């Protein structure tokens, strides 16, 4: 699958759950992921009538939810700057902060010098003193820390609403078996529906958006042991954890409080509108989305899992030239991909 600035076309990997593999695409998918018709209400929207959904309908909704969030997570269109800034402003207001000034950069690689130049906004002296002494109040914490606490509290409340708290999910004995089966096979084997939904949506997206892609970007574009890593948020790559709450709501597995829906909607708006971002006091550094992303299906994946891969160029490229290379999910140096391409051109079958 290729996402690039040459058209920014995303095709969802079609998946045949009955056969446990990818099937040929029958129709063109969404040509503009930023404008996917999507409701931020985190309520049931797929079937307008009030009757309970059947199991097959819930699985159908889960597949649609997964593909929607995958499209947002891998979107390569220019950022919706106005939408992103409004969402950040809403999150700032939730922790008692006013709308910040925004500084836009083209890639995460451009962030360290910008953050270093405004160090006191991201590591104010009072926060450093409070951390050193183990004292301080809520307002002594950095803006980034307060936003992280606020998000953590939100997720704890949402996990309770789903009836599937994070600690229970990580110890769910059915999760790994369900990930290795098709959705229907897992249900027939006896896996609980909520576990199958987790495997189909969140766990599937986490492989690339939550783990592999952020790790590759951090390694390739940010200094080792960078002090800025803990301050950052992943923007569109946060799609994987938002998808978990969306699928439970849209399959009638959970209902959320209005205030939580509002806060969740702000994080969702950031997923749909921008790349990585760093919040500071009175200043927020925002990143554009990549100009190009290349992936391939994960072998033996049962739920549309993807991995980074491009044999003839960077697997991820930003408009400012920041890039990273990967072959079959493994980060490599640029000459590795050149060697592969040269070997094929020369008839080397390895």
- Give me the DSSP letters along 197-252: HHHHTHHHHIIIIIIIHHHHHHHHHS-TT-TTGGG-B-GGGGHHHHHHHHHHHHTT
Strand order in the sheet with 101-105: 101-105, 283-287, 277-280
pLDDT for 298: 96
What pairs with residue 101 in β-bridges? 283
The list of the chain residues with pLDDT below 70 reads 1-50, 124-138, 165-170, 225-230, 335-350
Q: In the prediction, which pLDDT does 342 show? A: 60
Q: What is the rounded CA–CA span in Å between residue 37 and residue 317? A: 27
Its pTM stands at: 0.82
What pLDDT is attached to residue 52? 87
SS3 22: strand
Q: What is the largest CA-CA distance in the chain?
A: 66
Residue 228: predicted pLDDT: 64
Residues 197 and 248: beta-carbon distance below 8 Å: yes
pLDDT at residue 7, rounded to an integer: 35
Q: What is the pLDDT of residue 227?
A: 67
Check residue 344 and give its pLDDT. 59
What pLDDT, on the 0 to 100 scale, is given for residue 32? 38
- Residues 58 and 252: their CA atoms lie apart, in Å, by 8
How far is residue 121's CA from residue 130's CA, in Å, rounded to a whole number?
15
Scanning 95-237, the segments in alpha helix (DSSP H) are: 111-117, 119-122, 125-133, 143-162, 166-170, 175-179, 183-189, 193-200, 202-205, 213-221
Confidence (pLDDT) at 126? 59
| H or E element in which residue 259 lies | helix 258-273
């Amino acid at each position: 699958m290729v996402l690039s600035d040459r058209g920014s076309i995303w095709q969802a990997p079609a998946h045949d759950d009955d056969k446990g593999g990818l099937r040929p695409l029958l129709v063109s998918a969404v040509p503009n992921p930023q404008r996917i018709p999507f409701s931020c209400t985190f309520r049931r929207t797929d079937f307008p009538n009030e009757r309970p959904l059947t199991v097959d309908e819930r699985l159908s909704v889960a597949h649609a939810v997964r593909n929607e969030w995958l499209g947002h997570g891998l979107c390569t269109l220019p950022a919706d700057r106005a939408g992103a800034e409004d969402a950040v402003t809403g999150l700032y207001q939730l922790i008692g902060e006013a709308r910040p000034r925004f500084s836009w950069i083209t890639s995460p690689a451009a962030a360290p010098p910008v953050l270093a130049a405004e160090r006191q906004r991201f590591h104010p002296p009072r926060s450093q003193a409070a951390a050193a002494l183990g004292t301080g109040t809520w307002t002594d914490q950095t803006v980034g820390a307060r936003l992280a606490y606020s998000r953590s509290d939100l997720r704890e409340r949402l996990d309770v609403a789903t009836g599937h708290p994070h600690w229970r999910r990580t110890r769910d004995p059915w999760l790994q078996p369900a990930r290795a089966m098709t959705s229907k096979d897992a249900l027939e084997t006896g896996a609980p529906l909520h576990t199958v939904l987790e495997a189909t949506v969140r766990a599937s997206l986490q492989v690339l958006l939550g783990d592999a892609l952020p790790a590759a970007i951090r390694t390739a574009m940010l200094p080792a042991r960078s002090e800025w890593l803990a301050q950052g948020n992943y923007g569109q790559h946060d799609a994987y954890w938002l998808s978990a709450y969306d699928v439970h709501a849209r399959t009638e597995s959970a209902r959320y409080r209005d205030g939580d829906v509002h806060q969740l909607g702000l994080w969702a708006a950031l997923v749909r509108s921008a790349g990585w971002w760093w919040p500071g006091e009175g200043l927020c550094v925002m990143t554009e989305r990549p100009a190009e992303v290349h992936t391939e299906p994960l072998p033996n994946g049962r739920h549309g899992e993807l991995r980074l891969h491009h044999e003839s160029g960077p697997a991820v490229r930003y408009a400012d030239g920041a890039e990273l290379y990967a072959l079959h999910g493994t980060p490599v140096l640029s000459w590795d991909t050149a060697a592969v391409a040269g070997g094929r051109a020369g008839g080397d079958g390895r």
